[in-house]
């Protein structure tokens, strides 16, 4: 398996953003408090001037509360450690982080290539906002050959998500990075699936990594958060300026919750990944099973890339079942331990009956009448989850 995560990442996640010692008392809290502020005040005009000069150079210097003080800085540090980035910029949701990446890199009349397996709301952003700004978008299978056919003289950005939404199509990020370099494109990757812990796109050649901290980083289904990470100084400056100009901001309390959540990211991720494999095993024994979508399974077409580029997997999987529409509805409604809901990455199991319309735009999908059910496997006992899935499948068949 790839060895791109430093062996000490588990350690770093426990020791980044802890409380500083008080210079008078020599004591410190382990947990950094949530430093809430709108106004930042300065000791004298000289101190203000130094802060303004540092800020003008693109350094993380605070003159006003919008970018946040110590708690925000600590969370940015956590994201940098996770992703192997130089700088991280926080946004109020994963979707806001995506818009930050787009607005930082695209000008009016530019063209962006978007992987057809992307998170669905990106298409909504395109429809509602990007079109109005004269930014052209093409959706495409994210392979160099397919992308090449869609290149235009004004193509600036290649935006992908790996593994892709809904069916977890693994993309070859190193190959896409080589393609992007050859054609002078900025490669931006939505890395919510990996959240820096099991997958590190910047180390595989991407220019920008985007994470919805709402998912595994927060980890408790109680906060909205996004982050944009980069290494290149010129790119960092553009994101920095756009971030400030557009007013992206998060509350200190949400930053604090995210830091608290990330302490247990390693054990949550390992457990949810283990649980998901057990659920896959269960489905393999069922007559309704047509196919499992989960890159950690040797049967998955993306398994070799996953083995090469990832250091683990997570609790997400999709299962294709030989169930008609009514039976699929009965199955989902009969589940008692799986919440019917969007999002994932929390402690609890979730189920989503995937709309075929959402799959038709994915080149990876082979159209069929089968039901596609996306599951997030949480931290419950797998014995209980399997009993629940089993009784629900029986109910689906019984009617």
Ligand X SMILES: *Cc1c(COP(=O)(O)O)cnc(C)c1O
Residues identified as active-site: 66, 119, 190, 215
As measured in angstroms, the least distance from the Cβ of 399 to ligand X is 33
Strand partners, 296: none
Strand partners, 91: 226
Q: Least CB distance from residue 204 to ligand X, whole Å?
A: 17
Residue nearest to ligand X (CB): 94
CB of 218 to ligand X, least distance (A): 9
Closer Cβ to ligand X, 106 or 393, answer by number:
106
Taking the least distance from each CB to ligand X, the nearer of 190 and 300 is 190
Rounded Cα gap, residues 253 and 251, in angstroms: 5
Q: Find the shortest distance in angstroms from Cβ 216 to ligand X.
A: 10
Nearer Cβ to ligand X (119/283): 119
Give the C-alpha separation, 68 to 61, whole Å. Answer: 10
List contacts with ligand X (CB under 6 A). Answer: 93-95, 119, 161, 165, 190, 192, 212, 214-215, 224, 226, 343
Closer by beta carbon to ligand X, 139 or else 331: 139
* Least Å from the CB of residue 286 to ligand X: 27
Of the CA atoms within 13 Å of residue 254, those in its CB half-sphere come to 17
3-state SS record for the chain: CCCCCCCCHHHHHHHCCECCCCCCCCCCCCECCCCCCCCCCCCCHHHHHHHHHHHHCCCCCCCCHHHCCHHHHHHHHHHHHHHCCCEEEEECCHHHHHHHHHHHHCCCCCEEEEECCCCCHHHHHHHHHHCCCCCEEEEECCCHHHHHCCCCCCEEEEEEECCCCCCCCCCCHHHHHHHHHHCCCEEEEECCCCCCCCCCHHHHCCCEEEEECCCCCCCCCCCCCEEEEECCHHHHHHHHHHHHHHCCCCCHHHHHHHHHHHCCHHHHHHHHHHHHHHHHHHHHCCCCEEEEECCCCCCCCCHHHHHHHCCCCCCEEEEEECCCHHHHHHHHHHCCCCEECCCCCCCCCEEEECCHHHHHCCCCCCCCCCEEEEEECCCCCHHHHHHHHHHHHHHHHHC
């Amino acid at each position: 398996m790839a060895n791109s995560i430093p062996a000490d990442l588990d350690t770093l996640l426990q020791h980044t953003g802890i409380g500083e010692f008080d210079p008078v008392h020599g004591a410190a809290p382990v947990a950094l408090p949530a430093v809430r502020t709108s106004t930042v005040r300065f000791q004298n005009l000289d101190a203000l001037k130094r802060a303004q000069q540092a800020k003008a150079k693109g350094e993380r210097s605070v003159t006003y509360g919008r970018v946040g003080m110590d708690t925000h800085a600590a969370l940015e540090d956590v994201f940098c450690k996770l992703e192997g980035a130089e700088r991280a910029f926080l946004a109020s949701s994963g979707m806001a982080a995506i818009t930050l990446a787009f607005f930082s890199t695209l000008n009016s009349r530019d063209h962006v290539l978007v992987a057809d397996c992307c998170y669905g709301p990106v298409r909504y952003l395109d429809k509602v906002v990007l079109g109005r700004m004269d930014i052209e978008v093409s959706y495409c299978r994210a392979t160099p050959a397919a992308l090449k056919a869609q290149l235009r003289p004004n193509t600036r950005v290649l935006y992908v998500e790996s593994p892709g939404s809904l069916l977890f199509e693994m993309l070859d990020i190193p190959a896409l990075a080589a393609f992007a370099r050859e054609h002078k494109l900025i490669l931006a990757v939505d890395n919510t699936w990996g959240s820096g812990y099991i997958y590190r796109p910047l180390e595989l050649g991407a220019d920008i990594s985007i994470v919805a901290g709402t998912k595994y980083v927060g980890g408790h289904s109680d906060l909205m958060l996004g982050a944009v990470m980069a290494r290149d100084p010129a790119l960092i400056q553009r994101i920095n300026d756009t971030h400030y100009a557009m007013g992206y901001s998060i509350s200190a309390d949400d930053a604090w919750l995210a830091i608290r959540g990330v302490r247990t990211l390693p054990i949550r991720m390992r457990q949810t990944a283990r649980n998901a494999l057990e659920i896959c095993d269960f489905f393999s024994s069922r007559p309704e099973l047509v196919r499992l979508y989960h890159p950690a399974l040797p049967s998955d077409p993306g398994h070799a890339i996953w083995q090469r580029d990832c250091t683990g997997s997570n609790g997400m999987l999709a299962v294709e079942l030989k169930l008609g529409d009514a039976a699929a509805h009965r199955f989902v409604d009969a589940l008692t331990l799986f919440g019917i809901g969007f999002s994932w990455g929390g402690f609890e199991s979730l189920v989503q009956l995937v709309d075929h319309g959402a799959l038709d735009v994915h080149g990876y999908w082979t159209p069929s009448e089968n039901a596609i059910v996306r599951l997030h496997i949480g931290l419950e006992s797998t014995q209980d989850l399997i009993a629940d899935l089993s009784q629900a499948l029986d109910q689906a068949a019984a009617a």
